[in-house]
Amino acid sequence: MSFSFFRFKAKTPVELIRHTRECLQAIRSPPKEGVNGHGDGRGGESRALEKNLEIAKNLLAMKQFLFGDGETEPNLELSHQLTMEACKDDFFSLLIKRLHLLDFEARKDVALVFCSLVRQEINGRQIFLECIEKSSELLDLLLRGYEKPETALNCGTMLRECARYPTLSKYMLESPNFKLFFKYVELSSFDVASDAFQTFKEFLTKHRPIVCNYLSVRYNEFFDLYDKLLSSENYVVRRQSLKLLGEILLDKTNIGVMIKYIGEAQNLRIVMNLLKDSSKNIQYEAFHVFKVFVANPNKPPAIVGILSKNREKLLKFLENFRVDREDEQFEEEKELLMREIEHLPAPSP
């Protein structure tokens, strides 16, 4: 009997979006728990709790439209209607702005619904994706979600979904706000900082031609900021940044960027300092960047000068440098580097 009543009262996609928008507009602060864990029953707090519960129920209904209920398949007509409605009147921008006011499960559901809507195809078109492409504010709102601990991981999930698409990735890289990642990857919360770095990496590796163009145009701006990550006091940041740098430089698409990078003496000094790091893992990642400088057949005079001046120290370091696992490629590369360094001209007096 209750099931039939629920089915009768189920909202349409239009009603769901409209009602959720009204509830979002009505809340300004998260509800506080009272003595029974259900709010203290007073005015605004009671209303906030009521609106939050309504939003949570609506999000659950949206999930059922998109994913089914575990027993029945999703209704394509209704899920398409939901997609179309979600594109109207900046609904998702409002939802992201109010995301920190929702409870834990509701925030998770927002991310699930968002990712599903982006992937949704209607007559061969990704309508919601097109909607985001026209509303750049949404990507910037998601990025700034890292500034609130309660929304950081949800916004990271949605941003990584966006990174799958060239148009959105291009917008994010070209946005003035992209540089905020350099701050977010060093946040004090390990979970948030790690999530931010994962998203940062996605945007810098997913669509190679777009990334190459970004790095070429914003070369100085990007590497000025990136140098700070390489010298971070945070071990995890240093290691992740070094590993990502190696991936970027060794990507054939970025050959122009690589040649410019390995031609600059300051970059070599940074990498050589990292070879001296107390962590073997940092040394190992630095080695894979250092080898690009040494293997370059057209080393500029400044690079040759630094390598020649430090020849004996470098040879001694490489001779004693070991990794904690069998790695034939590493040993072969190390021997090649040693031979290359041995044949460098003597340093100028």
More reliable by pLDDT, 326 or 52: 52
Q: What's the DSSP call for residue 148?
A: S
Same domain? 22 vs 128: yes
> Residue 346's pLDDT is what?
74
Do the domain assignments include residue 158?
A: no
Task: With respect to residue 232, please indicate whether it lies within any of the assigned structural domains.
Answer: yes
Look up the domain containing 292 and give its range: 222-349
- The number of folded domains in the chain is 2
What pLDDT does 1 receive?
A: 39
Q: How far apart are CA 243 and CA 283, in angstroms?
A: 11
Domain membership of residue 263 (yes or no) is yes
Q: Which of 84, 118, 135 is the last residue of a domain?
A: 135
DSSP notation for 271-327: HHHHHT-S-HHHHHHHHHHHHHHHH-TT--HHHHHHHHHTHHHHHHHHHH---SS--
Q: Has residue 313 been placed in a domain?
A: yes
**Are 249 and 129 part of one and the same domain?**
no
Last residue of a domain, one of 120, 135, 150: 135
* pLDDT score recorded for residue 32: 55
Summarised one tens digit per residue, pLDDT across range 222-238 is 999 999 999 999 999 99
Q: Cβ atoms within 10 A of the Cβ of 85, count?
A: 20
Considering the domain architecture, whether residues 7 and 123 belong to the same structural domain is answered as yes
Which tokens in the block code for residue 166? 């060239």
Mean pLDDT of 128-146: 92
In a domain, 274, yes or no: yes
CATH number at 258 reads: 1.25.10.10
Tell me the longest C-alpha to C-alpha distance in the chain: 95
| C-alpha 36: how far from chain center | 39
The whole model's pTM is what?
0.89
pLDDT band with cut points at 50, 70 and 90 for residue 46:
confident
Which pLDDT belongs to residue 192? 97
Q: Is 343 helix (H, G, I), strand (E, B) or coil?
A: coil
What pLDDT was estimated at residue 5?
38
In a domain? residue 109: yes
Say yes or no: 127 and 252 in one domain.
no
Domain boundary among 92, 111, 135: 135
Determine, yes or no, domain membership for 15.
yes
pLDDT in tens, 195-210: 999 999 999 999 999 9
In a domain? residue 117? yes
Burial label for 230, CB within 10 Å (0-12, 13-18, 19+), is buried
Please report the DSSP string for 35-59 in residue order.
Answer: TTSS----HHHHHHHHHHHHHHHHH
